[in-house]
Amino acid sequence: MKKIILIIITIGILGAVGAYLYVFKFAAGHEDPLKSKDKVYINAPELYKYFTEHEDSANALYLSKVISVTGQITSLELNENRYTIYLDSKDSSGAISCEMDTTENATVRHMTEGTNVNIVGFCNGINIDVSLDRCKLEGVILKN
Amino acid sequence: MKKLSVLLFATVLTLTVNAQKYQTKTGNIKFYSKTDKETIKAENRKVVSAIDSTTGALEFSLLMKAFDFTNDVMEQHFNESYAESDKFPKATFKGAISDRSKVNFSKDGTYKVNITGKLTIKDVTKDITTTATIVVKGGKITATSQIKIKPKDYNFKIPAIAEKSIAEELTVDIAMTYTKK
Protein backbone atom coordinates (compact mmCIF):
# COMPACT_ATOMS: atom_id res chain seq x y z
CA MET A 1 0.00 0.00 0.00
CA LYS A 2 2.84 2.34 0.94
CA LYS A 3 4.46 1.56 -2.41
CA ILE A 4 1.32 2.56 -4.32
CA ILE A 5 1.05 5.85 -2.41
CA LEU A 6 4.70 6.56 -3.13
CA ILE A 7 4.18 5.89 -6.86
CA ILE A 8 1.10 8.17 -6.93
CA ILE A 9 2.99 10.96 -5.15
CA THR A 10 5.97 10.56 -7.54
CA ILE A 11 3.67 10.70 -10.60
CA GLY A 12 1.93 13.74 -9.09
CA ILE A 13 5.22 15.59 -8.55
CA LEU A 14 6.48 14.72 -12.05
CA GLY A 15 3.16 15.90 -13.51
CA ALA A 16 3.36 19.19 -11.62
CA VAL A 17 6.96 19.79 -12.76
CA GLY A 18 5.96 18.94 -16.34
CA ALA A 19 2.99 21.31 -16.23
CA TYR A 20 5.20 24.10 -14.79
CA LEU A 21 7.81 23.63 -17.52
CA TYR A 22 5.15 23.59 -20.22
CA VAL A 23 3.36 26.72 -19.01
CA PHE A 24 6.37 28.82 -18.06
CA LYS A 25 9.05 27.61 -20.43
CA PHE A 26 7.69 25.89 -23.52
CA ALA A 27 4.39 27.68 -24.03
CA ALA A 28 5.54 31.06 -22.80
CA GLY A 29 5.78 33.82 -25.39
CA HIS A 30 8.94 35.72 -26.19
CA GLU A 31 10.48 37.70 -23.36
CA ASP A 32 9.20 41.28 -23.17
CA PRO A 33 12.22 43.55 -23.87
CA LEU A 34 10.60 46.38 -21.92
CA LYS A 35 10.72 44.26 -18.76
CA SER A 36 14.37 43.27 -19.20
CA LYS A 37 16.62 44.25 -16.31
CA ASP A 38 19.78 43.98 -18.42
CA LYS A 39 19.17 46.60 -21.09
CA VAL A 40 22.11 48.24 -22.82
CA TYR A 41 21.47 51.95 -23.41
CA ILE A 42 23.08 53.48 -26.51
CA ASN A 43 22.27 55.99 -29.25
CA ALA A 44 21.74 54.94 -32.87
CA PRO A 45 24.90 56.49 -34.42
CA GLU A 46 27.15 55.02 -31.70
CA LEU A 47 25.62 51.55 -32.08
CA TYR A 48 26.01 51.65 -35.87
CA LYS A 49 29.59 52.93 -35.70
CA TYR A 50 30.61 50.23 -33.25
CA PHE A 51 29.15 47.48 -35.44
CA THR A 52 30.76 48.79 -38.65
CA GLU A 53 34.18 49.32 -37.06
CA HIS A 54 34.36 46.36 -34.68
CA GLU A 55 31.82 43.78 -35.83
CA ASP A 56 33.25 40.85 -33.87
CA SER A 57 33.43 42.79 -30.60
CA ALA A 58 29.98 44.25 -31.21
CA ASN A 59 28.57 40.76 -31.81
CA ALA A 60 30.18 39.52 -28.59
CA LEU A 61 28.75 42.46 -26.67
CA TYR A 62 25.29 42.87 -28.17
CA LEU A 63 24.00 39.72 -29.92
CA SER A 64 20.69 38.65 -28.34
CA LYS A 65 21.04 41.41 -25.76
CA VAL A 66 18.19 43.81 -25.09
CA ILE A 67 19.21 47.18 -26.48
CA SER A 68 17.50 50.45 -25.68
CA VAL A 69 18.42 52.64 -28.64
CA THR A 70 17.76 56.35 -29.01
CA GLY A 71 17.52 57.93 -32.43
CA GLN A 72 15.63 59.85 -35.05
CA ILE A 73 13.17 58.06 -37.32
CA THR A 74 14.25 58.26 -40.96
CA SER A 75 11.55 56.00 -42.36
CA LEU A 76 8.82 53.54 -41.50
CA GLU A 77 7.90 50.45 -43.45
CA LEU A 78 4.84 48.21 -43.18
CA ASN A 79 5.27 44.68 -44.44
CA GLU A 80 2.69 41.92 -43.80
CA ASN A 81 1.24 43.75 -40.78
CA ARG A 82 4.68 44.37 -39.24
CA TYR A 83 6.23 47.80 -38.93
CA THR A 84 9.94 48.40 -39.21
CA ILE A 85 11.24 51.72 -37.91
CA TYR A 86 14.59 52.87 -39.32
CA LEU A 87 16.69 55.10 -37.08
CA ASP A 88 19.30 57.51 -38.42
CA SER A 89 22.84 56.16 -37.96
CA LYS A 90 24.46 59.36 -39.34
CA ASP A 91 26.07 57.06 -41.91
CA SER A 92 24.64 56.79 -45.43
CA SER A 93 25.61 53.13 -45.72
CA GLY A 94 23.04 51.84 -43.23
CA ALA A 95 20.59 52.45 -40.39
CA ILE A 96 19.29 50.85 -37.23
CA SER A 97 16.44 48.63 -38.37
CA CYS A 98 13.88 48.01 -35.61
CA GLU A 99 11.27 45.41 -36.49
CA MET A 100 8.43 46.26 -34.14
CA ASP A 101 6.37 43.75 -32.18
CA THR A 102 2.89 43.63 -33.73
CA THR A 103 1.40 44.64 -30.35
CA GLU A 104 2.92 48.11 -31.03
CA ASN A 105 1.08 48.61 -34.35
CA ALA A 106 -1.59 50.94 -32.97
CA THR A 107 1.07 53.33 -31.64
CA VAL A 108 3.63 52.96 -34.41
CA ARG A 109 1.17 53.82 -37.16
CA HIS A 110 1.04 57.38 -35.76
CA MET A 111 4.82 57.79 -35.77
CA THR A 112 6.35 60.14 -38.31
CA GLU A 113 9.77 60.67 -39.86
CA GLY A 114 11.94 63.05 -37.86
CA THR A 115 10.53 62.01 -34.46
CA ASN A 116 13.13 61.15 -31.82
CA VAL A 117 12.35 57.90 -30.04
CA ASN A 118 13.63 55.31 -27.60
CA ILE A 119 13.13 51.79 -28.91
CA VAL A 120 13.94 48.62 -27.04
CA GLY A 121 14.51 45.29 -28.77
CA PHE A 122 16.73 42.24 -29.25
CA CYS A 123 19.92 42.70 -31.28
CA ASN A 124 20.52 40.30 -34.19
CA GLY A 125 23.76 41.81 -35.55
CA ILE A 126 24.64 43.80 -38.66
CA ASN A 127 23.67 43.02 -42.25
CA ILE A 128 24.02 46.47 -43.89
CA ASP A 129 21.66 47.73 -41.14
CA VAL A 130 22.04 46.89 -37.47
CA SER A 131 19.02 44.69 -36.91
CA LEU A 132 16.82 44.68 -33.81
CA ASP A 133 13.61 42.67 -33.58
CA ARG A 134 10.61 42.17 -31.25
CA CYS A 135 10.98 45.88 -30.60
CA LYS A 136 8.78 47.99 -28.38
CA LEU A 137 8.51 51.73 -28.15
CA GLU A 138 9.98 52.88 -24.85
CA GLY A 139 9.36 56.58 -25.32
CA VAL A 140 9.11 59.59 -27.59
CA ILE A 141 11.58 62.41 -27.01
CA LEU A 142 9.91 65.78 -27.25
CA LYS A 143 12.04 68.71 -28.33
CA ASN A 144 11.22 72.40 -27.99
CA MET B 1 48.56 56.60 -75.17
CA LYS B 2 46.13 59.43 -74.47
CA LYS B 3 43.68 57.89 -76.97
CA LEU B 4 43.98 54.51 -75.25
CA SER B 5 43.25 56.07 -71.84
CA VAL B 6 40.15 57.83 -73.21
CA LEU B 7 38.97 54.58 -74.81
CA LEU B 8 39.53 52.67 -71.57
CA PHE B 9 37.68 55.33 -69.55
CA ALA B 10 34.79 55.27 -72.05
CA THR B 11 34.58 51.47 -71.85
CA VAL B 12 34.55 51.51 -68.04
CA LEU B 13 31.91 54.26 -68.08
CA THR B 14 29.73 52.30 -70.51
CA LEU B 15 29.97 49.15 -68.40
CA THR B 16 29.12 51.15 -65.27
CA VAL B 17 26.12 52.80 -66.92
CA ASN B 18 24.84 49.47 -68.26
CA ALA B 19 25.25 47.62 -64.96
CA GLN B 20 21.86 47.54 -63.26
CA LYS B 21 21.73 46.46 -59.67
CA TYR B 22 18.54 45.51 -57.92
CA GLN B 23 18.55 45.22 -54.17
CA THR B 24 16.42 44.38 -51.15
CA LYS B 25 16.95 44.52 -47.41
CA THR B 26 13.64 42.85 -46.62
CA GLY B 27 13.87 39.54 -48.43
CA ASN B 28 12.01 36.61 -46.92
CA ILE B 29 13.39 33.15 -46.22
CA LYS B 30 11.33 30.51 -44.44
CA PHE B 31 12.31 27.02 -43.53
CA TYR B 32 10.20 24.07 -42.48
CA SER B 33 10.92 20.78 -40.84
CA LYS B 34 8.20 18.17 -40.52
CA THR B 35 8.44 14.89 -38.67
CA ASP B 36 5.84 12.66 -37.01
CA LYS B 37 6.86 14.23 -33.72
CA GLU B 38 7.04 17.93 -34.53
CA THR B 39 6.59 20.61 -37.17
CA ILE B 40 9.07 23.46 -37.02
CA LYS B 41 8.72 26.73 -38.92
CA ALA B 42 11.04 29.72 -38.93
CA GLU B 43 11.02 32.94 -40.88
CA ASN B 44 13.64 35.60 -41.59
CA ARG B 45 12.17 38.84 -42.96
CA LYS B 46 15.41 40.84 -43.18
CA VAL B 47 17.41 39.07 -45.83
CA VAL B 48 19.73 41.35 -47.79
CA SER B 49 20.03 40.40 -51.45
CA ALA B 50 21.19 41.86 -54.76
CA ILE B 51 20.92 40.90 -58.42
CA ASP B 52 23.09 42.36 -61.15
CA SER B 53 20.88 42.29 -64.23
CA THR B 54 23.87 42.69 -66.53
CA THR B 55 25.90 39.73 -65.33
CA GLY B 56 23.18 37.72 -63.61
CA ALA B 57 25.24 37.69 -60.41
CA LEU B 58 23.09 37.01 -57.38
CA GLU B 59 23.87 37.05 -53.69
CA PHE B 60 22.17 37.15 -50.36
CA SER B 61 23.15 37.43 -46.75
CA LEU B 62 21.14 36.86 -43.60
CA LEU B 63 21.53 37.02 -39.85
CA MET B 64 20.90 33.64 -38.19
CA LYS B 65 19.49 35.31 -35.09
CA ALA B 66 16.83 37.03 -37.20
CA PHE B 67 15.01 33.72 -37.73
CA ASP B 68 11.70 33.97 -35.95
CA PHE B 69 10.48 30.53 -34.83
CA THR B 70 6.92 29.54 -33.99
CA ASN B 71 8.37 27.63 -31.06
CA ASP B 72 10.50 29.68 -28.65
CA VAL B 73 12.30 26.72 -27.17
CA MET B 74 13.29 25.49 -30.63
CA GLU B 75 14.54 29.01 -31.45
CA GLN B 76 16.73 28.93 -28.36
CA HIS B 77 18.10 25.48 -29.21
CA PHE B 78 18.65 26.51 -32.83
CA ASN B 79 20.70 29.59 -31.89
CA GLU B 80 22.56 28.19 -28.91
CA SER B 81 23.24 24.58 -29.91
CA TYR B 82 22.50 23.68 -33.52
CA ALA B 83 23.47 26.77 -35.52
CA GLU B 84 25.74 28.32 -32.86
CA SER B 85 24.57 31.72 -34.04
CA ASP B 86 26.89 33.68 -31.74
CA LYS B 87 29.90 32.02 -33.37
CA PHE B 88 28.50 32.00 -36.92
CA PRO B 89 26.12 34.98 -37.09
CA LYS B 90 25.62 35.07 -40.88
CA ALA B 91 24.71 32.76 -43.74
CA THR B 92 25.51 33.79 -47.30
CA PHE B 93 24.82 32.70 -50.85
CA LYS B 94 26.94 33.79 -53.81
CA GLY B 95 26.00 32.66 -57.27
CA ALA B 96 24.41 33.58 -60.55
CA ILE B 97 21.49 33.05 -62.88
CA SER B 98 23.17 30.50 -65.13
CA ASP B 99 20.81 31.21 -68.04
CA ARG B 100 20.73 34.98 -67.62
CA SER B 101 19.88 35.54 -71.31
CA LYS B 102 16.39 34.10 -70.70
CA VAL B 103 15.44 37.18 -68.64
CA ASN B 104 14.60 40.58 -70.07
CA PHE B 105 14.89 42.79 -67.00
CA SER B 106 13.41 45.76 -68.85
CA LYS B 107 10.29 43.93 -70.01
CA ASP B 108 7.41 42.83 -67.79
CA GLY B 109 7.12 39.07 -67.74
CA THR B 110 7.62 35.80 -65.86
CA TYR B 111 10.85 33.95 -66.43
CA LYS B 112 11.91 30.48 -65.23
CA VAL B 113 15.65 30.35 -64.64
CA ASN B 114 18.38 28.15 -63.22
CA ILE B 115 20.51 29.31 -60.30
CA THR B 116 23.88 27.96 -59.29
CA GLY B 117 26.08 29.11 -56.47
CA LYS B 118 27.63 28.48 -53.12
CA LEU B 119 25.76 28.51 -49.83
CA THR B 120 27.80 29.10 -46.68
CA ILE B 121 26.39 28.30 -43.25
CA LYS B 122 28.58 27.82 -40.17
CA ASP B 123 31.70 28.30 -42.33
CA VAL B 124 30.71 25.25 -44.42
CA THR B 125 30.27 26.00 -48.13
CA LYS B 126 28.23 23.74 -50.40
CA ASP B 127 27.26 23.99 -54.07
CA ILE B 128 23.61 24.72 -54.69
CA THR B 129 21.71 24.27 -57.95
CA THR B 130 18.06 25.16 -58.14
CA THR B 131 15.38 26.74 -60.27
CA ALA B 132 13.74 30.10 -59.64
CA THR B 133 10.89 32.17 -60.99
CA ILE B 134 11.66 35.80 -61.75
CA VAL B 135 8.78 38.20 -62.29
CA VAL B 136 9.52 41.63 -63.78
CA LYS B 137 6.69 44.07 -63.24
CA GLY B 138 6.72 47.84 -63.27
CA GLY B 139 10.43 48.16 -62.52
CA LYS B 140 10.24 45.73 -59.60
CA ILE B 141 11.70 42.27 -59.67
CA THR B 142 10.33 39.40 -57.64
CA ALA B 143 12.27 36.17 -57.33
CA THR B 144 11.02 32.99 -55.69
CA SER B 145 12.72 29.67 -55.24
CA GLN B 146 12.83 26.59 -53.05
CA ILE B 147 15.81 24.55 -51.98
CA LYS B 148 16.34 21.59 -49.67
CA ILE B 149 19.22 21.50 -47.25
CA LYS B 150 20.42 18.92 -44.78
CA PRO B 151 21.36 20.40 -41.38
CA LYS B 152 24.06 17.74 -40.97
CA ASP B 153 25.82 18.98 -44.15
CA TYR B 154 26.40 22.28 -42.37
CA ASN B 155 27.60 20.81 -39.07
CA PHE B 156 24.40 21.44 -37.16
CA LYS B 157 24.90 19.69 -33.84
CA ILE B 158 21.60 17.98 -33.15
CA PRO B 159 21.60 15.78 -30.05
CA ALA B 160 20.21 12.24 -30.37
CA ILE B 161 17.22 13.14 -28.17
CA ALA B 162 16.10 15.81 -30.67
CA GLU B 163 16.87 13.89 -33.87
CA LYS B 164 13.32 12.56 -34.21
CA SER B 165 11.93 16.10 -33.91
CA ILE B 166 14.01 17.55 -36.75
CA ALA B 167 13.73 16.41 -40.34
CA GLU B 168 16.84 15.13 -42.06
CA GLU B 169 16.14 17.60 -44.86
CA LEU B 170 14.75 21.12 -44.43
CA THR B 171 12.60 22.83 -47.05
CA VAL B 172 13.68 26.42 -47.58
CA ASP B 173 11.37 28.91 -49.33
CA ILE B 174 12.98 32.05 -50.72
CA ALA B 175 11.02 35.15 -51.77
CA MET B 176 12.71 38.45 -52.69
CA THR B 177 11.27 41.68 -54.02
CA TYR B 178 14.02 43.84 -55.49
CA THR B 179 14.01 47.50 -56.45
CA LYS B 180 16.56 49.28 -58.61
CA LYS B 181 19.51 50.54 -56.59
Each residue of A68-122: pLDDT tens digit? 999 999 999 999 899 999 999 999 999 999 999 999 999 999 999 999 999 999 9
pLDDT at B180 over 80: yes
CA distance A72 to chain B (A): 20
pLDDT at B127 over 90: yes
Q: Residue B77: closest CA among chain A residues belongs to which residue?
A: A26
Inter-chain contact B90–A125, Cβ cutoff 8 Å? Answer: yes
Segment A123-135 mean pLDDT:
97
Name the region of A129 (left: φ>0; alpha: ψ -120 to 50; beta: rest).
beta
pLDDT at A18 over 90: no
Mean pLDDT of chain B: 89
- Work out whether the CA dihedral A108, A112, A113, A114 comes out positive or negative: negative
- Work out whether the CA dihedral A78, A79, A81, A84 comes out positive or negative: negative
pLDDT at B60 over 80: yes
Torsion of CA B108, B110, B112, B114, to 10 degrees: 40
Contact B79, B65 (CB under 8 A): yes
Segment A34-45 mean pLDDT:
93
Question: Cβ contacts (< 8 Å) between A25 and chain B: which residues?
Answer: 73
pLDDT range class, residue A28, cuts 50, 70, 90: very low
Mean pLDDT of chain A: 87
pLDDT range class, residue B19, cuts 50, 70, 90: low
pLDDT at B12 over 70: no
pLDDT at B52 over 50: yes
Strands (DSSP E) contained in B54-169 are 57-63, 68-69, 90-97, 109-121, 124-137, 140-149
**Cα B99 to the center of its chain, rounded Å:** 17
Inter-chain contact A99–B25, Cβ cutoff 8 Å? Answer: no
Interface of A with B (CB under 8 A): 25-26, 28-30, 59-60, 63-64, 77, 79-80, 82, 84, 97, 99, 122-129, 131, 133
Segment B41-69 mean pLDDT:
96
Structure pTM?
0.83
β-bridge mates for residue A110, sequence order: none
The share of chain B scoring above pLDDT 90, in percent, equals: 76
Segment A33-48 mean pLDDT:
94
**φ, ψ of residue B44 in degrees (nearest 5):** -120, 115
Establish whether this prediction's ipTM goes over 0.90.
no
Residues found in chain B: 181
pLDDT range class, residue A16, cuts 50, 70, 90: low
